[in-house]
Chains A and B, each alone.
Chain A
Amino acid sequence: MVQELQIGGTDALLQIEGLTKRFGGVVASENVTLDVRAGELHAIIGPNGAGKTTLIGQLTGELRPDAGRIRFDGEDITAMPTFQRSLLGLARSFQITSLFLDVTALDNVALAVQANAGHSFHFWRDARSEAELREPARAALARVGLGQRADVMAANLSHGEHRLLEFAMALANKPRMLLLDEPMAGLGPEESARMVEMLRELKGELPVLLIEHDMEAVFALADRITVLVYGRVIASDVPAKIRANEEVRQAYLGEQEAVHG
């Protein structure tokens, strides 16, 4: 993936063009343009306040952009409600763990399966005994290594397990692309390593847009990195070039370096 592709090229699954979002006088996204190609892991990095959360919000439909367009698989989804984007296959995980804490881990994942199993206007059959919901859910749990924890109440899982459960839910959502919002947040070194391993296994199978603070993980995993500063894209390239990019170093990576040297 070293060759430069035209933005909006035919193999881009997600295309973001000129996305702009203001809150009052603050520009949170300024003319953001980027894409995620089939099979690629594209990471977005940037200091706090760079507009990463705003960008995610617009991609998932919780925020409406002031200008610009988002296409998924060629379809314009800029004005599409959140749930429809999810049904199209744009699955997300939440930065701050956002689970159904009052039910079991399996119930959580089974809901994600159910969301993609047609409408839910089924009023009579006990949904917890439906194999077509439970089996795929168990499989997704097993895949993230939570197979043994399926029947534990989500509230009783550890923080690391919550992150894994988030991930299992995204996988169970029949995704065609994953939007991962800081999946490593708050994980210990061991758990982080496990998450990186899992993402590595996933690479090539599903395109991923990864928003992450953990630079080590990003540079280890990403095919391309986009750097966001004050809502603007200041660079978008392969990791090696990003590492060498002077503007990036000054604006972001090298704050300390700039001071020290």
Chain B
Amino acid sequence: MTSGAWFRRGWITPRNVVVAAILTFVVLLPVYTSGTGNYFLLSLFTRIVILAMAASTLNLILGYGGMVSFGHAAYVGIGGYVVGILAHEGITTGFLQWPLALIASGVFGLVVGALSLRTRGVYFIMITLAFAQMIYYVALALDRYGGDDGMTIYTRSQFAGLIDLSQKTVFYYLCVVLLLGTIYLVHRLANSRFGLVIQGSRSNDRRMRAIGFPTFRYRLTCFVIAGMLCGLSGALLATHTDFISPAMMHWTRSGDLIVMVVLGGMASVFGPLIGAVALLVLEEVLSGITEYWQIILGPLLLLVVLFARGGVDGILLHWHDHYRSASHGIGNLLARMRRG
């Protein structure tokens, strides 16, 4: 759908320009930071890239599947805690840590999905939120692993010397590669037969069942895939901060992820990246202006919901129409000048 519309509009759109600019910036950033030693910027963007990856997985179920999961941060936490707990118990090999992070997230997704996907609408929102809160409280109660203070990870995952995660730039590029991989995967999934079932079910689930699709099992599969990939982003986040704490999966983090998906434009593959950059950079900028920056951000979100539902994506599309008519006008002007 979105990709189809893309082609029709041609490649040079404000949206694609923004995406290209962000991608170029993201890829070239370490060149700049290693030159200037501005590691704050690298750290900020490592975080943005990781959260963009988490948001991309949410986009798969929320944007494409219409499943408004308000518990997506739980997978970030589970992925992070698997890595942290294993490291604490002396298992530092990433070949075990990361697959287990995926599996644990997947199992949680399977249980939550099986229970919540039988319900609709607001029930689904509340149930996903409640189960995420349950995991949050379990993490709080894990005194052995820091309880509510969290716990430092002293050794980053080892990959048999193949890749050294303790080098900031290397780790950053690993995150970028995994983000791009996730985005590509979401793109392929969304346009495959599987993805069309998921999107059809978002649009009209009753009809999907009437034409012969057992939609529940497809939606559940989608939910589990999204959860697993999000668990991987959690492993990355824990590695990035060398720290795990229940705050990783605080429910407001789930809210942040939804905001990113909506800001970036639902069901568009690069949307979550745009949304993550927009939200986190906006936070940085606002918190530079005032200590009470959330008093601006909160109403801003409400305004986006009320008046700019398409998010940044919608605004860019809107610009595009202006730009097209403007370029049309300039073309006419040039033609007239040539003639006359």
Direct touching of A and B (C-beta under 8 Å) = yes
User: Contact residues of A with B, CB < 8 Å?
Assistant: 60, 62, 81-84, 86-87, 91-92, 94, 98-103, 107, 110-112, 114-116, 120-128, 130, 133, 169, 173
Count how many pairs of residues, one from A and one from B, have CB atoms less than 8 Å apart in the complex: 94
Question: Interface-forming stretch among B88-96, B122-130, B198-206?
Answer: B198-206
B-chain residues with CB within 8 Å of residue A123 when the two chains form the complex: 188-189, 192, 194-195
B-chain residues with CB within 8 Å of residue A99 when the two chains form the complex: 204, 207
Contacts A120-B213, A124-B188 given; does A114 touch B203 at CB 8 Å: no
Of A81, A103, A111, the contact of B1 (CB 8 Å cutoff): A103
Known: A98-B206, A111-B200, A120-B218. 14 other contacts (CB 8 A): A60-B210, A81-B209, A83-B214, A84-B212, A103-B199, A112-B211, A115-B212, A116-B212, A122-B192, A123-B194, A126-B192, A127-B192, A127-B193, A128-B196
A125 to B191 CA separation, bound complex (whole angstroms): 8
The chain A residue with its CB closest to the CB of B187 is: A126
**11 chain-A/chain-B pairs, Cβ below 8 angstroms:** A83-B215, A86-B210, A98-B204, A98-B207, A111-B211, A112-B212, A115-B208, A120-B218, A121-B193, A122-B192, A128-B196
- Is B197 in contact with A120, judged by CB distance below 8 angstroms? yes
- Is B203 in contact with A102, judged by CB distance below 8 angstroms? yes
How big is the B interface, by class? 20 to 34
User: Contact residues of B with A, CB < 8 Å?
Assistant: 1, 4, 188-189, 191-197, 199-200, 203-204, 206-215, 218, 221
The chain B residue with its CB closest to the CB of A103 is: B1
B-chain residues with CB within 8 Å of residue A101 when the two chains form the complex: 203
With most chain B CB atoms within 10 A of its CB, the pick from A87, A120, A169 is A120
CB distance from B212 to the nearest CB of A (A): 4
With most chain A CB atoms within 10 A of its CB, the pick from B193, B196, B213 is B193
A-chain residues with CB within 8 Å of residue B213 when the two chains form the complex: 83, 115, 120
- Is B211 in contact with A173, judged by CB distance below 8 angstroms? yes
A124 to B1 CA separation, bound complex (whole angstroms): 16
A110 to B200 CA separation, bound complex (whole angstroms): 11
A-chain residues with CB within 8 Å of residue B221 when the two chains form the complex: 121
The chain B residue with its CB closest to the CB of A85 is: B212
A254 to B223 CA separation, bound complex (whole angstroms): 56
Closest 4 CB pairs of A and B: A86-B212, A115-B212, A122-B193, A120-B193
- Is A114 in contact with B1, judged by CB distance below 8 angstroms? no
A82 to B209 CA separation, bound complex (whole angstroms): 6
- Is B212 in contact with A173, judged by CB distance below 8 angstroms? yes
The chain A residue with its CB closest to the CB of B195 is: A127
Contacts A98-B204, A100-B200, A102-B1 given; does A122 touch B211 at CB 8 Å: no
- Is A115 in contact with B211, judged by CB distance below 8 angstroms? yes
A116 to B206 CA separation, bound complex (whole angstroms): 17
Of B194, B204, B209, the contact of A100 (CB 8 Å cutoff): B204
CB distance from A64 to the nearest CB of B (A): 14
A-chain residues with CB within 8 Å of residue B218 when the two chains form the complex: 120-121
A121 to B189 CA separation, bound complex (whole angstroms): 10
With most chain B CB atoms within 10 A of its CB, the pick from A83, A84, A121, A130 is A83
CB distance from B220 to the nearest CB of A (A): 12
A169 to B204 CA separation, bound complex (whole angstroms): 14
Contacts A111-B211, A115-B213 given; does A125 touch B206 at CB 8 Å: no
B-chain residues with CB within 8 Å of residue A87 when the two chains form the complex: 212
